[in-house]
Amino acid sequence: MKVLVTGAAGFIGSHVVDGLRAAGCQVIGLDSLDPGTWTRPPSYLRADVDYIFTDLRHCVPPLDPRLRDVEAVIHLAALGGVGRAGLEPGNVLTANAGGTARLIDLLQAMPQLQRVVLAGSFSVYGSNYQYRVPSTGRMLTAARRQADLDAGCFDVMDPDTGEVADILPIGEATPPAPLEGYGASKYMQELCFRAFTAAPVTILRFSSVYGTRLRLDDGEATIIAKLAGWIARGDAPSLYEDGRQIRDWAYVGDIVEAVGAVLERGCRWPIVNVCSGEPTTLLQACHTLAGVVGRAVEPKVVGGFRFGDMRHCLGDRSRLTALLGRAPCRFEDGAGLAFGELRR
């Protein structure tokens, strides 16, 4: 199968390219080599892949002859993340939404196209998480009262009894409600495909992804990348609130396998969450990372809170488990695969 991968030079894209080549696919890699991230092409680019270094926003018909017989497209290209979208809204929105629209123009001229996979994001869910009070079953939103936060009570609680509520894994049927520009741009990418009928489209919504090649020193580094970098240097991470915030990270190997499964067998759902589905607190993540990199580092819980932070994030992995035929990788298992090379 001949596959076009956009964002092919990036952290996730390069792993997807590796997986496709291992499966015997012919791969065309498209990437802008965004100057906000790269000063030169990364060293892990492959000699057996034909790369096209251009910005999707500049791709206009006629179609590059190398793309005419493409049979599948994996669309990973996007500028991130939340901070950059706030500073460069025009750049991020036009790259992510406008670039996707340009790509769809190109897809119309691919007569052999059989499948499209779009990289979505948990950021489209915003704060639409739900919580359940254990003793009563009362359902709550993710909203937290300012008075509780000021008093150092960081959990989502029953407003009448004060009982702590449990987060429910967020499912794919949850209505998108992005809270910031990056999440909005990722939802716009999904919307761009609403009228697309040339081939089936599967949206894989990624929770925060980790793995080898994850940039730990990037200004837009995710929290897990920052934690790994700090601990590997022997610096104690400072954690807001009480450090018991739940996060759900996706191992990049699960993304590679999910993409391969969609291409090989198709997918009966239009949207699939890619996550571990396992709750991991920030404190637990720090202790796991310290063990992986061989550093006796204890995080500092500094309290306080940041406006807009969600207490917990947790995904429903049911569809992904069915797609993979197994449970996705837990963070305690994937951390060594991702960050073992940082060990002292």
Q: Which pLDDT band holds residue 278 (cuts at 50, 70, 90)?
A: very high
Please name the residue that has the structure tokens 């992005």.
178
Q: Residues 140, 15: one domain?
A: no
Cβ 56 vs Cβ 102: under 8 Å:
yes
The pair of structure tokens assigned to 94 is: 């036009």
Q: Which pLDDT band holds residue 340 (cuts at 50, 70, 90)?
A: very high
pLDDT > 90 in the chain, percent: 93
SS3 breakdown of the chain: % helix, strand, coil, rounded to 5? 35, 20, 45
* pLDDT at residue 220 tops 80: no
Entry pTM: 0.96
Structural domain ending residue among the three candidates 108, 143, 167: 167
Q: Residues 150, 249: one domain?
A: no
- For the chain, the farthest-separated pair of C-alpha atoms sits apart, in whole angstroms, at 66
Closest CA to 100 of 10, 201, 21, 17: 201
* pLDDT at residue 256 tops 70: yes
**How far is CA 220 from its chain centroid?**
13
Q: Residues 172, 46: one domain?
A: yes
Structural domain ending residue among the three candidates 139, 167, 195: 167
Structural domain ending residue among the three candidates 145, 167, 189: 167
Q: Residues 139, 237: one domain?
A: no
CATH number of the domain to which 297 belongs: 3.40.50.720
Q: What is the pLDDT of residue 344?
A: 79
Distance CA 109, CA 111 (A): 6
Q: What is the pLDDT of residue 187?
A: 98
Q: Residues 48, 103: one domain?
A: yes
The number of folded domains in the chain is 2
Distance CA 63, CA 74 (A): 17
Closest CA to 248 of 194, 200, 320: 320
Domain that holds residue 163: 130-167
Q: Which pLDDT band holds residue 219 (cuts at 50, 70, 90)?
A: low
Q: What is the pLDDT of residue 221?
A: 80
Cβ 252 vs Cβ 224: under 8 Å:
no
Q: Give the contacts of 306 (CB within 8 A, at least 6 positions apart).
A: 240
* pLDDT at residue 305 tops 80: yes
What mean pLDDT is predicted for residues 186-205? 97
pLDDT in tens, 105-151: 999 999 999 999 999 999 999 999 999 999 999 999 999 999 999 99
* pLDDT at residue 261 tops 90: yes
pLDDT in tens, 39-58: 899 999 999 999 999 999 99
Rg (CA), the chain: 20
Mean pLDDT of the chain: 96
Cβ 206 vs Cβ 121: under 8 Å:
yes
What mean pLDDT is predicted for residues 247-270? 98
Q: What is the pLDDT of residue 60?
A: 84
Q: Residues 18, 115: one domain?
A: yes
What mean pLDDT is predicted for residues 268-273? 98
Provide the 10 A C-beta neighbour count for residue 245.
Answer: 23
Q: Residues 104, 159: one domain?
A: no
